[in-house]
Amino acid sequence: MPKEIVIGTRDSQLAMWQARWVLNQLERRYPGQPFVLRGMKTKGDHVLDVALAKIGDKGLFTKELEIALDRGEIDLAVHSMKDLPTRLPEGLAIGAFCRREYPGDVLISRRGLTLEQLPSGARVGTSSLRRTAQLLHFRPDLHMFAIRGNLTTRLKKLEELNLDALVLAYAGVHRLGMDHRITQRIPLSTCLPAVGQGSIGIEIRAGDEYIQRMLAPLDDPASRAAITAERAMMKKLEGGCQVPIGALGRVENGRLFLEGVVASLDGRQLIRERICASPHRAEEAGAMLAERLLVLGAGEILKTARQEFGIHE
């Protein structure tokens, strides 16, 4: 009998759903090969009372899994692609960029109102600086509240904190079967998603050709090109989950279109640019877009944002 392959992930609701999805995809394709799931806690799961941006640690949701991967305790680590830092530890690699869901954010409002319809001064909950900055740019009157926790916790906070609305990634809400709670898909022209949002990333040991070959059918080349470009942009801007940066790549008619945004936390300054390239030049496209954003003043905006959050890298 072949050796059991161990799939590691965080033990959150969403991470377990994603890992089970990967497990099902693999079991379907490789009958006779045993797979097991292993849920693990990460630092990001322990520190629940601090805004993510303030913890300011790259790999918050990934480090424990990466150590287990490196030690051979697990054979693949299933992540939300957007939680995966742009620089991976030595010896690890992305084995598959799974086909992306709709990448954008959604509004879940208590009274069924869209972003445009929310009353002046409405209270909106999100944990992300990227969403805060872009939404304030669109609606400077909104009051943004930092909330964290899994989907169930956040939905509870919508009531408990008397908020008017929450902003969440469509992909997470959809995977957990909560589509009926969605009031509106926030237009991508208003709010660009986080780098990698909507895609499941599978991390492996670099050079583990057996696992790499096994994952090949789960890799989606269009998602890979789009997200590779987004990650290259982020890397050049030296962002993490703690900075107000958004990006979205898309492959259409054989061309890669990449958009990026950098905004100040209060939404007053916002720089948004786009670039078009060959999907085979995804990394160059990302780096080039970052250069353009920097020329337009992104460096200053990011420097200020980092200072406001007291992040020392």
Ligand X SMILES: NCc1[nH]cc(CCC(=O)O)c1CC(=O)O
Residues 58 and 102: their CA atoms lie apart, in Å, by: 25
Sequence-separated (6 or more) residues with CB below 8 Å from residue 213: none
Rank residues 103 and 208 by Cβ distance to ligand X and give the closer one.
Answer: 103
How many of the other CB atoms lie within 10 Å of CB of 148? 18
Rank residues 82 and 236 by Cβ distance to ligand X and give the closer one.
Answer: 82
N-terminal to C-terminal alpha carbon distance within the chain: 48
Q: If binding is defined by CB under 6 A, does position 64 make contact with ligand X?
A: no
Beta strands 255-263 and 245-252: pairing type? antiparallel
Q: If binding is defined by CB under 6 A, does position 80 make contact with ligand X?
A: yes
Residues 77 and 86: their CA atoms lie apart, in Å, by: 16
Interface with ligand X (CB under 6 A), residue total: 9
Q: If binding is defined by CB under 6 A, does position 246 make contact with ligand X?
A: no
The footprint of ligand X on residues 182-211 (CB under 6 A) is 197-198
Give the CA distances from residue 282 to residues 129, 196, 288, in Å, rounded to whole numbers and listed in that order. 26, 14, 10
Q: If binding is defined by CB under 6 A, does position 65 make contact with ligand X?
A: no
Rank residues 178 and 270 by Cβ distance to ligand X and give the closer one.
Answer: 178
**Minimum separation from the CB atom of position 210 to ligand X (A):** 27
In the sheet that holds 255-263, the strands lie side by side as: 245-252, 255-263, 270-277
Return the range that interacts with ligand X (CB under 6 A); candidates 28-36, 77-85, 222-230, 232-240: 77-85
Q: If binding is defined by CB under 6 A, does position 169 make contact with ligand X?
A: yes
- The residues carrying an active-site annotation are 83
Q: If binding is defined by CB under 6 A, does position 62 make contact with ligand X?
A: no
- Interface residue list for ligand X (CB under 6 A): 80, 82-83, 168-169, 171-172, 197-198
